[in-house]
Structure formats: structure tokens, C-alpha cells
Amino acid sequence: MQTFTVVTGKVAPMMDANIDTDVIMPKQFLKGIDRQNLDRGLFFDLRLLSDGQPNPEFILNRPPWRDSAFMVVGPNFGCGSSREHAVWGLQQTGIRALIGTSFAGIFADNCQRNGVLLICLTPEQVAEVAAVAAQPHHNTVSIDLSLQQIQLDDGRTIGFQLDERNRQALMKGLDAIGVTMEYEGEIREFEEQYRERNLWVQIPRPEN
């Protein structure tokens, strides 16, 4: 997993509420068995016109925002399907962090597991970042995860909070399975006692 400490880049606004994972990664890009080339699918129906040409209206197609490292988004971003492909697509497009008031639960976990930082702010703070993001020439921000701070182009800063466990994992790029496997003995002990207490959960596989 890519680590996150201090990242500086442009921030693109996408303030619609309830942007769902079907929109972020449409169904035709879900037919693979690997994680490759999902940047091609990101926001596909918004990014391209029906003739396949780039949609000049779409924010990530426009020159100052084309190479954004961050997006500031509307409430409930990432709702809908559990598809992690949406996060892989964002990551492969170079998006390192999303800033908004609320994110859907599964999407948030998927981001965390792939090193994409989610920053939750108040509606007023999000509006402040969105105003900066909308300016074509002053939309560079710097996000410092060790200080938990966003620095805007004009020097203003906005602090944010992150679950400490998540923050450490993002900063160190930890392998979550590897970390959990350090508790392997405890899991086995728990499992044994749990199954002893609940004998009925042990169901033999029926014959076909």
C-alpha cells in the first residue's frame, strides 16, 4: 500500500450529493479478475461523451484540474455497491485523498485499505475547500497527515481528525492481514472457545 505523509496537488470539486459507486466505476469495467486498467473506467459516463470524445464539461477533463491529486466532494460520496473497483480506479487516476462531509461505509473502508485518505470536515469547511478548488489558478493544496492539516493556497489551514489506527496504517503503509496475523494465536483460542460455547454453529455440510 502506498504511504501517505505529505502530499501537495490540485483539488477538483465534485459537489453533487450521493455520487454512487456505479457512477464512479460503471458495470462494464467490473468484468475482470485483476485490478488493472481501472483508470479507464473512472467516471466513464461523465468523462466521455456518447461518441467517445472527452466531455469538456467534466471537471477532471479540464486543464487546471486534469492532474488533480485530491477531490472535494458532496455528501454521501461512494454510496451504493460494495465494488472496490471504484477505489482502485480513483487510485490509478492519481487521486490520493477525498475531502467531504460524509462517505459511505464500505467505500470508506475500501479507501482505507488502498491508501486513499478520506477527510471528513464540517459543511462550512468543505465549502471553503470547494471555493478554493473552483478557482482555476489557486487550487493547489497540501495535505499533511502527520499534522492532520490541510494547507490552502493562500496560507490558511484547516485541521482534521482521523482515527489514530487508520492514520498510522496510512502513514506506514501496513499490510492489514500481516498485522492481524500477529494475533493468530488469540484468534485460534477465541475460535475454539466460541465454538465450544455455541456447538450448534458447527454444521456438517449436507450431502448434495
For 128, the enclosing helix (H) or strand (E) is helix 123-134
Residue that is written with C-alpha cell 489557486 in the block? 138
In whole angstroms, the minimum distance from the beta carbon of 111 to another protein comes to: 9
Of 76-84, 89-97, 136-144, 152-160: span binding another protein (CB under 8 A)? 76-84
Euclidean distance between CA atoms 192 and 195, whole angstroms:
5
Which string of x and - marks every residue 31-50 that binds another protein (by CB under 8 A)?
A: xxxxx---------x-----
CA distances 97 to 72, 84, 91, 185, Å, are: 9, 16, 9, 36
Of 74, 92, 134, 144, which lies in the binding site for another protein, with binding defined by CB under 8 A?
74
Cβ atoms of residues 144 and 5 within 8 Å: yes
C-alpha cell at 96: 490520493
Measured from the CB atom, is 57 or 201 closer to another protein? Answer: 201
Give the chain's count of helices (H) and strands (E).
Answer: 8, 7
Of 62-70, 89-97, 133-141, 173-181: span binding another protein (CB under 8 A)? 173-181
Measured from the CB atom, is 67 or 191 closer to another protein? Answer: 191
Is 148 a binding residue for another protein by CB under 8 A? The answer is: no
Rounded to the nearest 10 degrees, the angle between the axes of helix 105-113 and helix 85-92 is 50
Query: Interface with another protein by CB under 8 A: which residues?
Result: 15-18, 20, 22-23, 26-27, 30-35, 45, 74-76, 79-84, 87, 102-106, 109-110, 113-114, 163-165, 176-177, 180-181, 183-184, 186-187, 190-191, 194, 198-201, 203, 205-206
